[in-house]
């Protein structure tokens, strides 16, 4: 409570000061979490797109329209599998490099709105791609990846800038929760449409992506802009109104505005003598390595295989199409549970410990998946599937959300 600068009246009626502070804290918590959940819909889209890339590989009609026949089965060549699963990340990489400039120019809300328009256009390309025009589908996913990178980067910044310090670990970590919810939703859609015998078996999953940018565009006018952006643009009165709204009228607005102004003044003072090379000098080099490696280690832990290719892997392991779709839903459902658990453990056990032991657990489970797959029996297949589900729980309770929290906290103001 001491991290939130409350302004309480001395006359609290029948309620004690402690009770009033608790009520105010709950009020602020509800407002802040509501705003964060709304902006994090962009994270949901990232998770949905990442999972739909691998999920469509398990759809026979998709492999028929964009692949060829091999051993009397429709398959998509490995080069196209890799391309379709990685191209969104390439677009997201360029978005991550440009979003700082864009967000400072048009604001956090403006960045989300711009990403919505780009995503709607990119999904249009994917939905209307003719069969066997793989390059057009790839271009649509590349453009959409740029929008998704804007969504995730802006969501992380927005959550950290409108949240009180006491809630920052939870709100920034919730970005990953929404990514996993998107993955779960993607598998549910694939499970519902994947057995169709027409092109809508994969076009409907593409079309679902139109829904969420529309929701964001409708709700953006009602979402507050980041007070940090407003102060940077000289709109201090607007920043005061946002802070007062987020605090439910019970926050020391002037104190928070002064803190923001002082921090920005410090950053501006340092900016004059700072270049990107400073990210690789002195103690900042260590910060850069940590912030980068938390995401590199996420990929090295095998998450793309365990999530992106899970349904297709289950088919290759010998499961029927219907069971593969259901197991894919189960993998992502347990990931949602793991993220919810992480929201309660992230402030209890520390960032480093959870990330370290999460990596150890994922490594052990990966070995168990490998060894169990050596047995070409029904029991071996079910063991591999079970360990894949356990892997995702271990990943989402530790490595997944911690990456977004650590990279947001480890960087210096400079």
Residue spans of the domains in the chain: they are: 274-414
* Confidence band of 122 (pLDDT split at 50, 70, 90): very high
List Cα–Cα distances, 281 to 31, 270, 284, in angstroms. Answer: 40, 15, 6
pTM to 2 decimals? 0.75
11 has pLDDT over 60? no
The CATH architecture annotation of domain 274-414 reads Up-down Bundle (1.20)
Instruction: Report the alpha-carbon distance of residue 401 to residue 358 in Å, rounded.
Output: 11
Distances (CA, A) of 141 to 10, 76, 126, 135, 238: 58, 17, 7, 10, 37
Q: What per-residue confidence (pLDDT) applies to 18?
A: 53
Residue tagged 């529309």 (tokens): 214
Place of tokens 């310090």: 165
Give the pLDDT confidence of 332-370 residue by residue, as tens digits. 888 888 888 887 777 778 788 888 998 999 999 999 988
**pLDDT of amino acid 139:** 95
Phi, psi (rounded to 5 degrees) for 68: -150, -175
- Least Cα distance to 163 among 293, 51, 34, 299 occurs for 34
Query: At residue 255, what are phi and psi to the nearest 5 degrees?
Result: -60, -45
318 three-class SS: coil
Q: What pLDDT does residue 124 have?
A: 95
pLDDT above 90 covers what percent of the chain? 17
pLDDT band of residue 140 (cuts 50, 70, 90) is very high
User: Is the CB of residue 336 less than 8 Å from the CB of residue 361?
Assistant: no
| Residue 117 binned pLDDT confidence (cut-offs 50, 70, 90) | very high
pLDDT (mean) for 149-174? 76
According to the model, what pLDDT value does residue 1 have? Answer: 33
CA–CA separation, 196 vs 192, rounded Å?
9
Q: Among the listed ranges 93-97, 271-275, 309-313, 331-335, which one has the minimum average pLDDT value?
A: 309-313
Instruction: Give the count of alpha carbons within 13 A of 41, CB side only.
Output: 23
Mean pLDDT, residues 249-268: 82
């Amino acid at each position: 409570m001491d991290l939130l600068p409350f302004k309480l009246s001395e006359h609290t009626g029948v309620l004690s000061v402690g009770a009033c502070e608790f009520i105010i804290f709950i009020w602020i918590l509800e407002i802040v979490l509501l705003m964060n959940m709304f902006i994090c819909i962009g994270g949901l889209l990232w998770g949905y797109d990442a999972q739909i890339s691998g999920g469509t590989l398990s759809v026979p009609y998709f492999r028929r329209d964009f692949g060829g026949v091999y051993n009397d089965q429709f398959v998509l060549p490995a080069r196209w599998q890799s391309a379709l699963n990685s191209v969104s990340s390439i677009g997201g990489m360029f978005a991550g490099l440009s979003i700082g400039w864009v967000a400072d120019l048009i604001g956090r809300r403006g960045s989300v709105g711009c990403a919505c328009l780009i995503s709607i256009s990119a999904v249009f390309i994917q939905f209307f791609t003719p069969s066997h025009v793989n390059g057009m589908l790839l271009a649509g996913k590349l453009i959409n990846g740029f929008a998704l990178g804007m969504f995730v980067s802006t969501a992380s910044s927005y959550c950290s800038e409108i949240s009180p310090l006491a809630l920052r670990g939870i709100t920034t970590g919730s970005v990953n929760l929404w990514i996993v919810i998107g993955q779960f939703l993607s598998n549910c859609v694939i499970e519902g449409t994947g057995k169709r015998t027409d092109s809508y078996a994969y076009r409907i999953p593409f079309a679902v992506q139109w829904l969420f940018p529309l929701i964001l565009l409708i709700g953006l006018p009602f979402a507050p802009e980041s007070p940090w952006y407003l102060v940077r643009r000289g709109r201090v009165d607007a920043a005061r109104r946002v802070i007062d709204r987020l605090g439910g009228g019970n926050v020391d607005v002037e104190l928070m505005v002064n803190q923001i102004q002082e921090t920005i003044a410090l950053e501006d003072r340092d900016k004059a003598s700072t270049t990107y090379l400073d990210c690789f000098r002195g103690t900042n080099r260590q910060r850069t390595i940590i912030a980068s490696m938390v995401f590199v280690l996420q990929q090295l832990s095998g998450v793309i295989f365990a999530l992106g290719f899970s349904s297709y892997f289950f088919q290759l392991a010998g499961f029927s199409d219907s069971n593969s779709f259901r197991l894919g839903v189960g993998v992502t459902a347990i990931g949602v549970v793991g993220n919810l658990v992480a929201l309660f453990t992230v402030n209890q056990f520390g960032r480093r410990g959870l990330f370290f032991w999460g990596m150890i657990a994922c490594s052990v489970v990966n070995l168990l998946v490998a060894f169990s797959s050596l047995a070409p029996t029904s029991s071996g297949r079910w063991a591999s599937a079970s360990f894949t589900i356990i892997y995702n729980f271990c990943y989402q309770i530790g490595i997944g959300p911690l990456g977004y929290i650590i990279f947001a906290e480890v960087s210096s103001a400079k």
